[in-house]
Structure 1
Amino acid sequence: MHGLVNRSFESFLEVTYGAPLWAAVVEDLDTGFDSFEAVLHYDDALSYQMLESASARLGKPPDMLLEDFGTFLVASPTAERIRRLLRFGGVDYEDFLASLEDLRGRARLAVPDLDLPQIEVGEQGGGTYRLACHSPHKGFGHVYLGLLRALADDYGALVLIDYEGESGGAEILTIQLADAEFAEGREFDLAAPVAERAVE
């Protein structure tokens, strides 16, 4: 797993649940270091061990924790650069959905060795979309579930999103765009400087 993913999850745990929780997870991991390096790569087993440790200590299912992580990547001030990368995809939620298949490539422009899931989005008609998340790392579908729900709030759209499980080696989400202009979205200016410290 890319260190940027692990470091972002570390930041999510520490910002959301506090330093004592992260210290306890570090103790469980017993790796000899207390923070992930964003430029390194780590064994996938260590990433899943981190998730399982946090899940056990919080009494929260791993899938729910991953969904909360996806929300954090959009909603937290510490992740503003990630939000900007996502919002760059479109002026409204519908445009954003249409751009999701390009997200992997946009991320690689910033971090060439970052291998995000391959996303396929198909329009089913009537404002319904089917998203397939292809990744060797199981669980990214739940991250996208939280991320997509948070982006709907960010754009001010009324959206219903369900996790449908796995099919053909991909995690499947269904997205029902009920009202693209349901509420006023969060202020966003692509040209504005990022004042907050981003997730490293």
Structure 2
Amino acid sequence: MYGIIYKAIEQYVVNSFGNTRWETIKSDSNIPIDTSIMEQPYNDDANYKIAVTTAKHTNKPLDEVLFDFGEHIIKTTSENYSIFMESRGNTMRDYLINLPNFHNRMMLIYPELTPPEFRVSNVEGNALVLHYISTTKGMLSFVKGYLNGLMKIFKEMPEVKVINSENEINKEYTFKISW
């Protein structure tokens, strides 16, 4: 997924605030981003820093920017890289169950990739628990946006409850998702 993440963030900022604002945000964030290179490694720290810079230059609350980033990554992936979506399943439930395996395969293909870790547990007929583990604090709104984007793509409206948030020791968010 490397550069797809940055491409999605760029498209969100350009569509919402214009190309000039994107260039300012990119420059001010001091993160070397070339959205024409799809094999560019990324990590949550870089995404968070870009979100902080975007919030600063747009006067939007940081949580809102993070939510929008998460949601837009799914939108961009669905519209421009549908093979990535299709390879993970035809329903949101299947997608989430396959997401950890997909990330593991991507890390084998792209060893410089440092994505967050997804795990799924307690899979039942109508529910599952999704774990999002990251070395970056403050990504809860991002994951909520990501899940909201999935709901829109799959046209499903499961109940999503945050059952565990990060703390000083644990940088994991846990969600119970029920259909």
Give the TM-score, by structure 2 length: 0.73
CA contact (8 A) 2:77 2:84 kept: no
- Cα deviation, 1:145-173, whole Å, max 9, x if unaligned, reads 22222112212222122444215523324
Alignment RMSD (CA, Å): 3.4
- Per the alignment, do residues 132 and 78 of structure 1 end up closer, same or farther by CA in structure 2, a change over 3 Å counting? closer
Pairing of 1:115-154 with structure 2 (within 5 A): 115-123=114-122, 125=124, 127-154=126-153
- Per the alignment, do residues 89 and 143 of structure 1 end up closer, same or farther by CA in structure 2, a change over 3 Å counting? same
Q: Which residue of 1 aligns with 2:158?
A: 159
Q: Which residue of 2 aligns with 1:191?
A: none
Q: Which residue of 2 aligns with 1:174?
A: 175
- Per the alignment, do residues 62 and 162 of structure 1 end up closer, same or farther by CA in structure 2, a change over 3 Å counting? farther
- For structure 1, which runs of at least 5 residues remain unmatched after alignment? 179-200
CA contact (8 A) 1:132 1:170 kept: no
Deviates more, 1:135-144 or 1:50-59: 135-144
- Cα deviation, 1:52-102, whole Å, max 9, x if unaligned, reads 221122222223212211111122378521x53133111222212211221
The answer as to 2:29 corresponding to 1:14 is: no
Counterpart code for 2:152: D
- For structure 2, which runs of at least 5 residues remain unmatched after alignment? none
CA contact (8 A) 1:162 1:174 kept: yes
Counterpart code for 1:107: M
Q: How many residues align?
A: 174
Identity of aligned residues (%): 20
The CA deviation at 1:174 is: 1.8
Name the structure with the higher helix share: 2
- Per the alignment, do residues 149 and 87 of structure 1 end up closer, same or farther by CA in structure 2, a change over 3 Å counting? farther
Distance in 2 (alpha carbons) for counterparts of 1:111 and 1:156: 31
CA contact (8 A) 1:67 1:144 kept: yes
CA contact (8 A) 1:161 1:173 kept: no
Q: Secondary structure in 2 aligned to 1:176?
A: strand
Q: Which residue of 2 aligns with 1:36?
A: 34
- Per the alignment, do residues 57 and 78 of structure 1 end up closer, same or farther by CA in structure 2, a change over 3 Å counting? farther
